[in-house]
Amino acid sequence: MMAPPPEGADFLHPGLAEPRTKEDWFAYVFYEPPPRPVLPPHSVYLAMNEGERRRLNRARSQYHSALVLAWTPAVQHFEAEIFELLDANEYAPPGARPGLLIDGPPTVGKSTLVKMIARKFERQLREDYPGRFSPDRLGSYVPVVYISLADQVTPKQISVAFARYLNTPTGGTKEDIDHHILTALKACGTQLVIFDDLHFLDCSHKEGRASNDHIKYLANHAPCTIVGTGVDLEDSPLLSEGGASGRTTQTSGRFSRQELGTFALDTEADALAWVAVIRSLEGALELYRHEPERLTRHQWKYLHERTGGSIAALHTLIRRSAVRAVTRGTEAVTREVMDSIVLSHAHERGYAKVLELKNRTAPKKTPRASRAAGKTGQAVTDG
């Protein structure tokens, strides 16, 4: 039988927002998603009174809403890259250390990936150097700084975002703020600085270039490794001066740029990577009638068509289908449930195009072929 919710649970805010301060970041590092509920036998579930069932289902929805994050091949690749960079940069001589830019279209999981990796890095440091995190330490130890840039960001806004994160003064000129944050970055032992959404350094704006110069200045003076993410970074003022000159920038000599894309199905290895992600998400479902590996084995191609290989769309689709399967009592993520979910406009439009293309290229069935398919009673599956 389900235990009643703990006292005060109504006041807890369960969700996570993008970290804006070191306290937000620490909360993310320690965050544990809602636990996996233990389902009683189905007969017990059916015999529950309304309140008991509602509470169990709410716990299931909370759990499904977080679902699991997958350590995809891309996450593993960037984990190795970033950890290696951090090692190679730790005691490097003064000056800008080599950094990494992760460039990719929207919703491929760039922000999630850098946070997963940085969280792992910090959790390892907490385990290996507990003294550094001790409350007795003079000043806090902040190994990771995560800055999510605002649109049309100015150099001063970057400095203020840093200052808010590190809790240093935000008043005075940009130079004053910079002096405080550079001092704090050293005192806090910061090793990794993440700039998320670097495409907000818009090349067409004068401020964009100034912000680029500012990031270069910070990179030169802070003894940290910088990892950035963004969309179309090749055209960003960080890497190219743009305009007619097409000249590369000073920062382009310091950052490597690597791409992160959607999942493809071009090769067997691609397909296996996609199927593995589905398997890890599907394995986390807590439903009474969901046939194990149903999606992994039979719907992987449909899921790719539906989501365009976007991990964000896949995560949303499975998450929402799981919640719907509980509220509607179907207790399984079926093709029917997934078809009833409306994904983002971009993904629905992409799927409509796939369907249109399929319709156009599908061979017209001869009466004989239709009869043969009917005879064998083939299930409509993907693989």
Ligand X SMILES: Nc1ncnc2c1ncn2[C@@H]1O[C@H](COP(=O)(O)OP(=O)(O)OP(=O)(O)O)[C@@H](O)[C@H]1O
We find the least distance from the C-beta atom of residue 230 to ligand X, in angstroms, to be 8
CB of 70 to Mg ion, least distance (A): 17
Paired residues of 316 in beta bridges:
none
**Minimum CB separation from Mg ion for residue 200, in Å?**
11
Which residue is at the shortest CB distance from Mg ion?
111
Q: What are phi and psi of 194, to 5 degrees?
A: -110, 130
Residue 70 binding partner per list Mg ion, ligand X, none, with a CB distance cut-off of 5 to 8 Å that depends on partner kind: ligand X
Looking at 42-50, 103-111, 153-161, 371-379, which segment touches ligand X (CB under 6 A)?
103-111
Interaction partner, residue 69 (Mg ion, ligand X, none; CB < 5-8 Å by kind): ligand X
Task: Give the residue among 97, 114, 110 at the shortest CA–CA distance from 216.
Answer: 97
Asked whether position 110 contacts ligand X by CB under 6 A, the answer is: yes
Per rule CB under 6 A, is residue 108 in the interface with ligand X? yes
Window 292-311: contact mask with ligand X (x via CB under 6 A): -------------------x
Residue 72 touching ligand X (CB under 6 A): yes
Q: Phi and psi at residue 193, in whole multiples of 5°?
A: -115, 125
Q: Are 203 and 242 in contact (CB under 8 A)?
A: yes
The residue type of 118 is A
For the bound state, the minimum distance from the C-beta of residue 111 to Mg ion, rounded and expressed in Å, comes to: 3
Q: What gap in Å lies between CA 196 and CA 228, rounded to an integer?
A: 6
Region near ligand X per CB under 6 A, out of 109-117, 125-133, 135-143, 292-300: 109-117
Phi, psi of 256 (to 5 degrees): -90, 150
Say whether residue 231 binds ligand X (CB under 6 A).
yes
Our CA angle for 49, 54, 58, nearest 5°, is: 155
In the complex, the smallest distance separating the C-beta of residue 111 from ligand X, rounded to whole angstroms, is 3
Q: How many residues does the chain have?
A: 383
Distance from C-alpha of 182 to C-alpha of 220, rounded to nearest angstrom? 10
Tell me which H or E stretch contains 259. Answer: strand 255-259
Query: Which CB sits closer to Mg ion, 37 or 99?
Result: 99
When CB distances are held under 5 to 8 angstroms depending on the partner's kind, the choice from Mg ion, ligand X, none that residue 75 binds is: ligand X
Helix axes 311-327, 268-282, angle to 10 degrees: 30
What CA–CA distance (Å, rounded) separates 81 from 74? 11
Tell me if 85 contacts ligand X by CB under 6 A. Answer: no
Is residue 318 a contact point for ligand X (CB under 6 A)?
Answer: no
Find, among 180, 179, 188, the residue nearest to 138 by Cα.
188
Ranked by CB distance to ligand X, the top (closest) residue is 109
Q: Which does 315 bind (CB under 5 to 8 A by kind): ligand X, Mg ion, none?
A: ligand X
Determine, following the binding rule CB under 6 A, whether residue 315 of this chain makes contact with ligand X.
Answer: yes
Contact 63, 34 (CB under 8 A): yes
Residue ranges binding Mg ion (CB under 5 A): 111
User: Which listed range, 100-108, 170-178, 238-246, 344-352, lies at the site for ligand X (CB under 6 A)?
Assistant: 100-108
- Burial profile 82-103: b = 16 or more Cβ within 10 angstroms, e = fewer: beebbeebeeeeeebbebbbbb
Residues that bind ligand X (CB under 6 A): 69-70, 72, 75, 106-112, 231, 311-312, 315
